[in-house]
Chains A and B, each alone.
Chain A
Amino acid sequence: MIRLHGIERVFHLGGEEVHALRSVTLEIGRGEYVSIMGPSGSGKSTLLNVVGLLDRPSAGRYELDDRDVTDLTDDEQARIRRERIGFVFQFFHLVPRLTAEQNIELPMVLAGIDPAARRARRARLLAEYGLETRARHRPDELSGGQCQRVAIARAMSMRPALILADEPTGNLDRQTGQEVIAVLERVHRDGGTLMLVTHDPEVGARARRRVRMVDGAVVSDERP
């Protein structure tokens, strides 16, 4: 599903070149569950951003579903993000003025899906993630775990083939974190491809495939 060939990402910070990614070559198949681990600044998040088409590599080639997406225009990339990719962030990134159900609906609104279909899908997602009673609450009235479940439901609302989670448990306590991981793993079991960035070894160890990064390079790629 994902093919990365010699991906480089160089940032220019005050005249200095910082190599966030060094010649990363990685292939991830459909339906895989991959954890990306490594110390802070090792390029995990940058890798996830490149895979999520939020960031462009400085060099290398990226194929998604056998299509070269490296040089697509911004609008084409936005379209792919909308239809193929779901993001889950450490800080949830819910829109504070919108209720849980409105947040979940947001990707469908952006995609221009008609309201009747949106309502049906929204109701199913609320039920699926145990949020029915919280549907009309705003994020500041939700617990961290509920917020992250809303964020996951939102990521799933367009039924993406690829879920990218950047430290999804980083802002949660242990217990809630485990619940959230369980929810993500259920998504994976239903056939989704899951890429999970974490520096919690316990969380990372649950993935069937574990990629370790140091200084922007992949140093180990364990799979069963």
Chain B
Amino acid sequence: MRLADLLEFAWRVLRGYPARTLLILVAMGIGVAAVVAVSSIGEGARLYVISQFGSLGTHLVIVLPGRSETAGAMPGVLMGRTPRDLTIEDALALKRSPAIRRIAPLIVGAGDLRVGARVREGPVLGSTAEFVAIRHMEVAQGEFLPEGDPRHSQPVCVIGATVARELFPGRSALGEWVRIGDRRFRVLGVLAAQGESLGFNTDELVIVPLAAAQALFNTDALFRILVEAKSRDQIAAAKDDAEEIIRERHEGKRDVTVITQDAVLATFDRILRALTLAVGGLAAISLAVAGILIMNVMLISVTQRRGEIGLLKALGATGAQIGLAFITEAVLLGLGGAGLGLLVGKLGQLAIGHAYPSVPFTPPWWAVLAAPLTAIATAVLFAVAPARRAARLDPVRALSRR
């Protein structure tokens, strides 16, 4: 039997029993569509998190005070000592590393902002001129904090877009004075609206020079130090250098934690990938259900078409040919179901994407490949038993019934 004839024969069977064909196609299609849609949600979440991390800065290494490892029985408490603070000197020392491009020490606190009678409480950030470059922020009006020795400061500040709008409604904030706590700062610039990034809204921020923040919050301790490595390859070197330099300065004690953005990102990436695989796998169960449906419907079909099978044998068809005809039917059903499912899955993904435009929903390549392949493989696998039954049918008995 020629391949074209085999396909045509199977095609005519499928067209000859439209209800049965439609039923199987829908079952297969739902399975494939579920895998595609569900995994595209998972993949979308992953890409969303990656892009959010990317907006924090690139080649980022973060130095935090304190060691997040448990070593011994809380030595700090026993010896009556807490971990040493990070200081501006620590931060400046990091510039010695050839792997580090720039650094931005950070102090974070909350303060009351006053302009005339308007009061607004919000986060106040102390940092240096390099902060804006490391965090990939943009200044919409005016300019950012001036360069210079971070140990000395001018009474200036840069404010977020929301702060500017609320404290200076309908007028420019540039050059105006803002009172923070008991100090006055002149507004040098307004940040471009950036929106929320990992739960931190930069539009509500006020940034003052580091030394001013130290005075404002009466502390020398840095909240953390943002470090930008010179390139992606230098991230590891920058991390090692940062640890080493701080250890030297802290009398040989490793009392800081250095994390790289890549490491955090890789963790999220792993978790979300696993999640996507898991939900995709759950959706794939519906494919197995569709497979069982195919088997049952085909077994019924073999019984219904006994006469035809007997006739084909009388006309000279071998058992293998008849089995092959049933398998071909299943392959066509699998292909059709997979195509339908991919289409519906894609439409579903577009619909979800329309509802949540900020998340880049997209089915991962493996799902687009695996779902239809699984559908076809399932269809063939579950068609084997009916095909064998058909191939083995005794022609005399098959023909004796009408």
A-side residues, CB < 8 A to B, are: 49, 52, 54-55, 74-75, 78-79, 81-83, 87, 89, 91, 93, 95-98, 102, 106-107, 109-112, 114-115, 154, 158
Contact = CB atoms under 8 A, between A and B. Distances in A.
B402 interface: yes
A78 B12 contact: no
A110 B315 contact: yes
Contact of A109 (B5, B307, B318, B320): B5
A171 B54 CA distance: 81
B265 interface: no
Interface residues of B, number: 27
A146 to B, nearest CB: 18
B316 A78 contact: yes
B150 to A, nearest CB: 85
The dominant DSSP class at the B interface is helix
Given A78-B319, A89-B311, 7 more contacts: A54-B314, A75-B319, A79-B316, A82-B317, A110-B317, A154-B315, A158-B316
Nearest to A78: B318
A87 B315 contact: yes
B396 A110 contact: no
A198 B139 CA distance: 102
Nearest to B305: A95
B399 interface: yes
Contacts of A106: 312, 315
A54 B395 contact: yes
Nearest to A158: B316
A109 B321 CA distance: 11
Contacts of A95: 308, 311
**Residue from B5, B12, B16 with most neighbouring chain A CB atoms (10 Å):** B5
A89 B399 contact: yes
A107 B321 CA distance: 12
B15 interface: yes
A48 B124 CA distance: 101
Nearest to B4: A115
A164 B318 CA distance: 19
B16 A97 contact: yes
B316 A81 contact: yes
Nearest to A55: B396
A93 B311 contact: yes
A110 B399 contact: no
A111 B308 CA distance: 17
**Residue from B2, B307, B315, B321 with most neighbouring chain A CB atoms (10 Å):** B315
A106 B15 CA distance: 17
List the 5 closest pairs (A to B, CB-CB), nearest first: A82-B316, A97-B16, A81-B316, A78-B318, A93-B311
